[in-house]
Amino acid sequence: MSDGDTFDVLNIQENILRGVYSYGFEKPSVIQKKSIPLIMEGKDVIAQAQSGTGKTGAFVIGSLCRINIEDNSSQILIITPTRELADQIYNFVEQICNYTEITYLKVVGGSSVSECMYDLKKSPHVLIGTPGRILDMIQKGCLYTENIKTLIFDEADEILSYGFKDSIYNIVSTIPKTTQICLFSATMPDEIVELTNKFMNNPEKVLVKKEELT
Ligand code: ADP
């Protein structure tokens, strides 16, 4: 945030920008400034940054800009290691989408399976969830991945350290080859490098050290 640019320079759609400003953000953090344009362009992105640097803001704002509102299908899939993180991301998405027609749903373990199946029938634009329940819903034929434009892994190192590797590989195998994949992680252990080499298409790399957020 050194040169004082506001979010206006990032070409974010008006109705999403309104949500960003009313949430109270004024200027993008470094990771946001670097990765939002790449996500908006549809590039695969590997972003390494510690928590508290604004990663959630980066992938949520960037990916929301990719949604085609005319298309009533699930287009953004955000995978996180825990229900708590899914809650946080969901709440943030809800606020940022306040002035849009974008629809969103949480797909997490520990909630009613039948309710989840029912809610998925409406094909919300944005799905936020944990690997086990997401894979279960895909395998039950309730979560359609054909139109997923952007797949995001939040805290990818945690996802793998919690033993979700097989689920992740199974999920990715159902996603179209053309889907943009964005991976956010605090560390880059070998397992993540292996995952990125296997599934990502010429990814752009963004590395950010911990910075103070105003
Ligand atoms: P991470 O996902 O890297 O842990 P978050 O996106 O959750 O980081 O952001 C950490 C904190 O900083 C949150 O309280 C968030 O609201 C705040 N924050 C993020 N981006 C900005 C910004 N551009 N301006 C002001 N506050 C921000």
Ligand 1 centroid to residue 116 C-alpha, Å: 29
195 and 183 Cβ atoms separated by less than 8 Å: yes
Residue 119 DSSP SS3: helix
Tell me what pLDDT residue 142 has: 97
Residue 182 DSSP SS3: strand
Tell me what pLDDT residue 5 has: 86
206 and 33 Cβ atoms separated by less than 8 Å: no
Ligand 1 centroid to residue 56 C-alpha, Å: 7
Each residue of 52-103: pLDDT tens digit? Answer: 999 999 999 999 999 999 999 999 999 999 999 999 999 999 999 999 999 9
Tell me what pLDDT residue 1 has: 42
53 CB under 6 A from ligand 1?
yes
Most informative mutation of 2, 9, 29 for ligand 1 (most atoms within 8 A of CB): 29
- First and final C-alpha spacing in the chain: 9
Tell me what pLDDT residue 51 has: 85
Ligand 1 centroid to residue 105 C-alpha, Å: 21
131 CB under 6 A from ligand 1?
no
Cα 29 from Cα 36, distance rounded (Å): 10
Q: Is the CA virtual torsion 103, 195, 142, 87 positive or negative?
A: negative
Tell me what pLDDT residue 211 has: 59
Cα 95 from Cα 168, distance rounded (Å): 28
Cα 28 from Cα 1, distance rounded (Å): 7
Each residue of 100-152: pLDDT tens digit? Answer: 999 999 999 999 999 999 999 999 999 999 999 999 999 999 999 999 999 99
Residue nearest to atom 15 of ligand 1 (CA): 54
Mean pLDDT across the stretch 5-32? 96
Mean pLDDT across the stretch 37-42? 98
Tell me what pLDDT residue 214 has: 46
Each residue of 8-21: pLDDT tens digit? Answer: 999 999 999 999 99
- Ranges of beta strands (E only) in the chain are 45-49, 76-79, 104-107, 126-129, 150-153, 180-185, 204-208
Nearest atom within ligand 1 for CA of residue 32: 23
Most informative mutation of 31, 36, 56, 78 for ligand 1 (most atoms within 8 A of CB): 56
Ligand 1 centroid to residue 109 C-alpha, Å: 25
Each residue of 164-206: pLDDT tens digit? Answer: 999 999 999 999 999 999 999 999 999 999 999 999 999 999 9
Tell me what pLDDT residue 209 has: 80
